[in-house]
């Protein structure tokens, strides 16, 4: 972990891969990750943790399968949203977006349960940002 400020625009400019988050710092036992996203991720569930999203640029859509039914939330730049643990969800960004997430260190991008993983989704616990 760096003891210097980390400019997020610098981190985002350092890679092009979509759905492939970079860990920029840690807060206690949590990773702070940034990612570039476009198109659809996949339906998945994190059984034991909530998932926090902050939209840095663009617009993020999150489809949710909840006990009351399926719904979608749309997050413009600057908006935050937390998907509760155990809720099946699918992030997407039809026009592309940059996002920041808080997740416990070691949390897989595809959750604990998921549908088939498409080729464009990186199955990772986050890539270290060294820069």
Looking at residue 101, its pLDDT comes to 96
Provide the H-helix boundaries in the chain.
8-13
pLDDT digits (tens, 9 = 90+) for 1-15: 568 899 999 999 999
pLDDT digits (tens, 9 = 90+) for 23-71: 999 999 999 999 999 999 999 999 999 999 999 999 999 999 999 999 9
User: Do the beta carbons of residue 56 and residue 34 sit within 8 Å?
Assistant: yes
Beta strands, E only, the chain: 22-27, 30-40, 44-45, 51-58, 60-66, 69-75, 80-83, 88-104, 113-114, 127-128
Task: Supply the mean pLDDT for the chain.
Answer: 91
Pick the CATH number of 8-128 from 3.30.950.10, 1.20.120.420, 3.50.30.30, 2.60.120.10: 2.60.120.10
Q: How far apart are CA 96 and CA 115, in angstroms?
A: 22
């Amino acid at each position: 972990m760096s003891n210097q400020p980390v400019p997020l625009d610098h981190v985002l400019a350092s890679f092009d891969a979509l759905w492939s988050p970079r860990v920029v710092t840690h807060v206690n036992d949590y990773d702070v990750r940034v990612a570039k996203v476009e198109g659809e991720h996949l339906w998945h569930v994190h059984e034991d943790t909530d998932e926090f999203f902050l939209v840095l640029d663009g617009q993020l859509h999150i489809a949710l399968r909840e006990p009351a039914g399926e719904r979608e939330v749309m997050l413009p730049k600057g908006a935050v949203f937390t998907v509760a643990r155990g809720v099946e969800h699918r992030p997407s960004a039809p026009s592309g977006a940059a996002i920041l997430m808080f997740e416990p260190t070691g949390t897989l991008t595809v959750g604990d349960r998921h549908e088939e993983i498409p080729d464009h989704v990186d199955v990772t616990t986050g890539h270290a940002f060294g820069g």
